[in-house]
Structure 1
Amino acid sequence: MARCTHRLSPNEKDAIEQALKKGECWLARLLEREARGRFVEDEISKQFKHLYNFSRNKGVDVEVPGGYKYEILSGTDSNLARHGRRMAGEFFRMLTF
């Protein structure tokens, strides 16, 4: 399971354990990566929400005055690749944590 399991919520831990019990290692890895992404976004949001509009529902994580858009990433190779493919038609800057 994840290296930082102490940061996972009880529901996240349970979902990952259930996937592993079913032999769905791919799903366990996906759930762990998604949880890591939420953690990173939450930590960045706590520090900067008074300055910027953070939202998981608008495509990019942060939009700032002047039209700049930012994606907050955990910095893993798979995370960078996935965001690059998903956001191929969007010009944005990546912030890694």
Structure 2
Amino acid sequence: MGDLLQEAVTEAANEWGPNKLSRAERDAIDEALKQGEYWLARLLEREARGRYVQLKVKTQFEHLYDFSLSKGVDVVDPANGRKYEILSGTASNMARHGRRMAGEFFRMLIF
């Protein structure tokens, strides 16, 4: 089942584009750009992409898995207890997740 989740994560990430931003996300990015905070604008865009991917996968699989997108691991398979984390494959994001969840054993679903 992990491979199926990985496929869905990759597909959702490939679907994402700036047209998927909410009005609030677009406004926050525009404000960061206006202030010359280009790094912040890029971070806000990456976070929006991550939320899009997580919600898309949750909608597709919530009948099979337990989702908790705001704390701990993102996905738990209730049949076997396996845990999955949906994340971008940037070095900083992987390191942050590794530190935050050092005591957890989980499969990374990277986009």
TM-score interval (norm. to shorter): 0.7 to 0.9
How far 1:53 sits from its partner (Å)?
A: 1.1
Alignment TM-score, normalising by the size of structure 2:
0.73
Answering whether residue 93 of structure 2 is matched by residue 92 of structure 1, we say no
Which of the numbers 74, 81, 84 marks the counterpart of 1:67?
Answer: 81
Which of the numbers 20, 34, 54 marks the counterpart of 1:41?
Answer: 54
Answering whether residue 48 of structure 2 is matched by residue 58 of structure 1, we say no
Distance in 1, matches of 2:102 and 2:88, equals: 18
Task: Determine the structure 1 residue equivalent to 2:26.
Answer: 13
1:28 match: secondary structure:
helix
**Stretches of structure 1 lacking an aligned partner (at least 5 in a row):** none
Distance in 2, matches of 1:85 and 1:20, equals: 30
How far 1:24 sits from its partner (Å)?
A: 1.1
Answering whether residue 45 of structure 2 is matched by residue 29 of structure 1, we say no
Q: One-letter code of the match for 2:42?
A: R
Distance in 2, matches of 1:62 and 1:6, equals: 26
Query: Aligned Cα RMSD in Å?
Result: 1.9
Distance in 1, matches of 2:19 and 2:60, equals: 21
Segment drifting more, 65-74 vs 19-28: 65-74
Identity %: 68
